[in-house]
Structure 1
Amino acid sequence: MASPICLRCLARPSAGNAPSLAAHLRIAPVSASFSTTSALTSSVGKKIPKKKPASLAKPKKGSFVLARRGSRSSGSTASRKDPAAIRAQRKRVVLSNPNALSVTDMQELSVKNALSSEEGTILTLSNESIDALRSAEAFKHNQGWNLFRQPSTLVTNQAREVAALIEGINQDRNTHKEVVVGDKGAGKSVLALQAMAFALQAGWVVIHIPEAQELALAHTSYAPMRTSQGETLYTQPDYTAALLSRISKSNSAVLSKLSLSKSHAFPIPVANNISLARLADLGASDATIAPAIFAALMTELLLPSSAAHPRPPLLFSLDGLPHICRPSKYLDREAQPIHGFDLSLVNTFTSLLSGATPLPNGGLVQGIDTNSNRPTTRALDQHIQTALEKSTSSPFSKVQGITPFLSPYKGHDARVLEALRSVSVRHVQGVSRLEARGVMEYYARSGVMRGAVDEPRVAEAWTLAGGGVLGELEGSLTRLRV
């Protein structure tokens, strides 16, 4: 009997039976009953490492600890010093050393004693002068005041000239303007201190800016101000308040006897007969009104003296003159650097220095150069070089009228050149050997230097000090031990 199913159909299964046939033909995977991989290299045998617990102990001294970005340090801030305390410690001036020997039979520094003293004489400062000069911040921490029992200074030839100058201004009521230059450590700031001591003893009003760098580094607040001439100046309220405080403390004996002579536009109610000392205290107590108070105080001091309202001569000195003879770090509304002469306090000083603002009662205006941190100021350097060459040129020289010319390839500040046009230059040089001997004898009497002060030792110290530079001479004497 023939089969109803074709043999060809049996050889090719239909679509409906394909899944079941594929399931029957599926090959089971073959796995070995053992493994040839070692247990050390097997990924299955590896264990997840445990995280190390965070160490709460303080790291060892000198070890490097890397902090994550954005993370804040959780360390204690108890050991961190206040920036104001660090600044006060840096500016701290010690004027007396109780361990030093007391030097007796010394005269006080005055105009009379300075003019009549011999070469190499050391004069001491009186207690009244010390208090006033400390209030004006005339002392500096790097001047070696902490080596002696009482502050004393050497009367050099330049100091005698300044004493004679102040005595002449007292009699004639004239005005003198000068720039004090010299090598580093030559005694420029000490000469300005001696001038302030002479002026305070003569009853002058002394205004001193100890560091002009603080006015130009953009470390204090400032604000624009429109003047009556239409110019834009920039006031520094906080620094002006501090300056008024120093003026009031250092000139209290003089300003307490002077009163207002005219009305001013004060931002607060002020009595008409208020003393200038009280007026300065008002500006020192509130920085917002300090610029207006300082402007009124300068107006009163620059009025002509009368019987009802006497006005004394004025000494205005600024230490660090190169810092203001260039653009400052302050920016205006267009993000452009503000020139140092556009600052209100600096503009007051430069107006007196250039002669634009006269001194009807006479006075002395001093700008002290610096070499410790001196910026580049081509205009000031040009003026100093020209003045020094004129003073040292021989009257019989054929090139007497030839002065250093301005380089056409370098820019020069015309404002600085115009302000210094009529200003003289005082060059402070090293002391003579006789003056160096007086300094060494004073060091020996104070117990700072050991050994005898003889001619060979004086010659050696004077030579090692670069020809009598006081700063180098002091360093060699304090480091030398026998």
Structure 2
Amino acid sequence: MPPSICLRSFSQLSLDRSVHSLASRSRLSPHAACFSTSAARFANPSPKKGRVVAPPKRGQKTLNVKRGRKDPQGDVGKRPAPGERKAQRKRIVLRNDNALEVTALHDMAKATILSGLDEGRVLGIPENVVDALRAVEAFKPTQGWGLFWRPATLMRKETIQMAGLLKEVEESEEGQKKTIRRVLSGERLGGKSTLLLQGLTMAFLRNWVVINLPEGITDYPAAQDITNAHTEYAPLPGSQPTQYFQETYTANLLAQTLKANEPVLESINVTTNPSLPLPLPANATLKQLVELGAVNPEASWPVFLALWEELSVSGRPSILFALDGLSHIMKDSDYLSAEVKPIHAHDLTLIRHFIDCLSGQKSLPNGGVILAATSRSNCPSSSALEHSIQVAEQLQRDPNNLLHYNPYKKVDQRVMDALKDLRDPEAKGLDVIKVGGLSKDEARSIMEYYAESGMLRAKVDDGFVSEKWSLAGMGNIGELERASVRQRI
């Protein structure tokens, strides 16, 4: 037998014996638990004894290191003051010193602004008109005015159409002045508010009286916040059905109207005998009349009616009455009546006055334009308004194909009655201006202005214009600015 086999046999034998010995000992010896520290590990720790510090002796200085103690040299984490964030959010910047000045930029001129010869050009807004537009809150913080050296705007085809409306009013016969009513509609970022601003600019240049209800007045925003219970209101005595006036808001509106139209108002004397709660000086001007309502909110609504009556006297200037954010006033407001029921926005006196002008119940004896711009960025749903605009746009495309209303949608009958002329093929008063995309020529013109201002560092050729025009959704001016200017910033 080989030696290796003998060694393996003895090794296996010794291993079997050791296993047998271990098994026998485990059966004979009692089972004992292993030592464990889990009880001590999971036990609640005993509270540490706090060290009691004796109070300092009289006249002895101690080190105070309490958390949250303010730095006497100045608080780095100072909270903003009340209203500071809102002021920063609503701040309007109309100048960028880092942009290049476009020396070839011409201003809008009173003599040529209604001629239609400036289509496709970028024109600057005169300085005095900029102050008037700022007074009536026509500029918006979301618009790109602060990117360029000075405010300028593109005279697009819709702008020329707007100029034609003002020209039509001025050329109408004396005693039969036209009152033109339009609703500005279009896609989001399409330039509806900018088109409204262009209409205000042309009216200021032509010495019209401009009254604007923007989406944001300094303290009391109009179309949005005038209906969501952000200002004082009270029932108008003697009104049936009950109307509600907002004296503080109306006083702010009169103050801004005076600031924007001061040269025109101070040149006109009061000829009627208005019934006002406060005395008016003899031989007063319209400027003094408006000042009376701006300083005394309790008399603001009677002063507004007196101003409107004065502007209706023969021989007075034409009026441009504008509102931005139409859908905010086409619903129930957040105000409550004495019976704790929602007050419809059309029962607010100022909104009622605008709706009467927009629907044609009130006309302007000296002519004028009533403008209402819709919004797609921040607007409540109004089925009646949307349906009326869709019907008007369908009638422009095909007058013989009338769009019917969906009976399964909830409809506000008061809104339907106010906008009935939009759905009537025979009515010629109220109509819609569709604000669409720019043409490629218009897009090239505005992009060349971007390049001359130093905000677009690219060669503006046909290929580049076609690329950006397509990326901007076939000429959406807001998306075009975003794709060519804001994307680099």
Q: Smaller-chain TM-score range?
A: 0.7 to 0.9
State the secondary structure of the residue aligned to 1:251: helix
Secondary structure of 2:226's aligned partner = helix
Q: Give 1:110 deviation, angstroms.
A: 3.8
Asked if 1:297 corresponds to 2:296, the answer is: no
Please state how far the C-alpha of 1:128 moved relative to its aligned partner.
Answer: 1.3
Q: Which residue of 2 aligns with 1:24?
A: none
The alignment status of 1:128 with 2:128, answered yes or no, reads: yes
Q: Report how far residue 55 of structure 1 moved.
A: 8.7
Which residue number corresponds to residue 418 of structure 2?
Answer: 419
Provide the residue aligned with 2:203 in structure 1.
Answer: 199
1:366 is paired with a residue whose SS is: strand
2:264 paired residue number = 254
> Quick one: which amino acid aligns to residue 234 of structure 2?
A
Mapped to 2, the partners of 1:52 and 1:77 lie a distance apart of 33
After superposition, the CA RMSD in angstroms is 2.4
**Quick check: 1:263–1:272 contact (8 Å CA) kept in 2?**
no
Q: Judge which range, 195-204 or 414-423, deviates more.
A: 414-423
Match of 1:431 in 2: 438
Conserved 8 A contact 2:114-2:167: no
Number of the residue aligned with 2:328: 323
Give the match for residue 387 of structure 1: 392
Alignment of 1:432-447 (within 5 A): 432-447=439-454
Larger Rg: 1
Distance 2:51 2:282 in 1: 78
How far has the Cα of 1:126 moved from its partner?
A: 0.6
TM-score, L = length of structure 2: 0.80
- TM-superposed CA distance for 1:448, in Å, is 0.3
Please give the alpha-carbon distance, in whole angstroms, between the structure 1 residues aligned to 2:182 and 2:483.
Answer: 31
CA drift at 1:87: 2.0
Structure 2: distance between partners of 1:455 and 1:114: 30
Structure 1 residue 58 displacement after superposition: 2.7
Q: Show structure 2 runs of 5+ residues with no match.
A: 1-38, 53-63, 70-74, 216-222, 422-429
Q: Secondary structure at the match of 2:236?
A: strand
Query: How far apart, in 2, do the equivalents of 1:48 and 1:437 lie?
Result: 77
SS at match of 1:215: coil
Give the number of aligned pairs.
Answer: 411
* Corresponding residue SS for 1:295: helix
Conserved? CA contact 1:449–1:480, under 8 Å: no
1:355 equivalent in alignment to 2:366: no
Pair 356,434 (structure 1): closer, same or farther in 2 beyond 3 Å: same
**Corresponding residue of 1:176:** 180
| TM-fit CA distance, 1:92 | 1.0
> Does 1:233 pair with 2:233?
no
What is the distance in 2 between the residues matched to 1:96 and 1:127? 12
Once the two structures are superposed, what CA deviation does each residue of 1:345-376 show, in whole Å capped at 9, x if it has no partner? 10110011111111111000011000011111
**Shift, 1:410, TM fit:** 2.4
Structure 1 position 119, deviation (Å): 4.3
Residue 86 of structure 1 corresponds to 85
* Cα pair 2:320 2:369 within 8 Å, conserved: yes
For 1:461 and 1:48, how far apart are their aligned partners in 2?
Answer: 70
Q: Distance in 1 between matches of 2:147 and 2:359?
A: 39
* CA gap 1:114/1:105 in 2 versus in 1, 3 angstroms: farther
8 Å CA contact 1:137, 1:210 repeated in 2: yes
CA deviations 1:296-330 (Å, max 9, x no partner) are: 212222x231xxxx311110000000000000111
Aligned 8 A contact 2:384 2:415 in 1:
yes
Counterpart for residue 97 of structure 2: 98
Specify which of 53, 58, 61 is matched with residue 68 of structure 2: 58
Q: Does 1:474 align with 2:475?
A: no
Which amino acid is the alignment partner of residue 420 of structure 2?
R
1:50 shift after superposition:
4.9
> 1:118/1:197 Cα in 2 relative to 1: closer, same or farther (>3 Å)?
closer
Change (3 A) 1:118 1:261: closer
In structure 2, distance between residues paired with 1:318 and 1:232: 24
Percent identical residues: 40
8 Å CA contact retained: 2:113, 2:202:
no
1: CA distance, partners of 2:167 / 2:238: 36
Residue 116 of structure 1 deviates from its aligned partner by 4.4
Q: Equivalent residues in 2 for 1:141-180 (5 A)?
A: 141-172=141-172, 173-180=177-184
Give the whole-Å Cα distance in 2 for the aligned partners of 1:141 and 1:52.
59
Measure, in 1, the Cα distance between the counterparts of 2:108 and 2:419: 31
Q: 1:377 maps to which residue?
A: 382
Distance 1:134 1:151 in 2: 11
Q: Is the 8 A contact 1:114 1:155 kept in 2?
A: no
3-state SS of 1:312 partner? coil
Distance in 2, Cα, partners of 1:329 & 1:383: 24
TM-score (normalizing by structure 1): 0.81
Whether the 8 Å CA contact 2:119–2:160 is kept in 1: the answer is: no
Cα deviation, residue 440, structure 1: 0.7
Using the alignment, how far apart are the partners of 2:487 and 2:316 within structure 1? 50
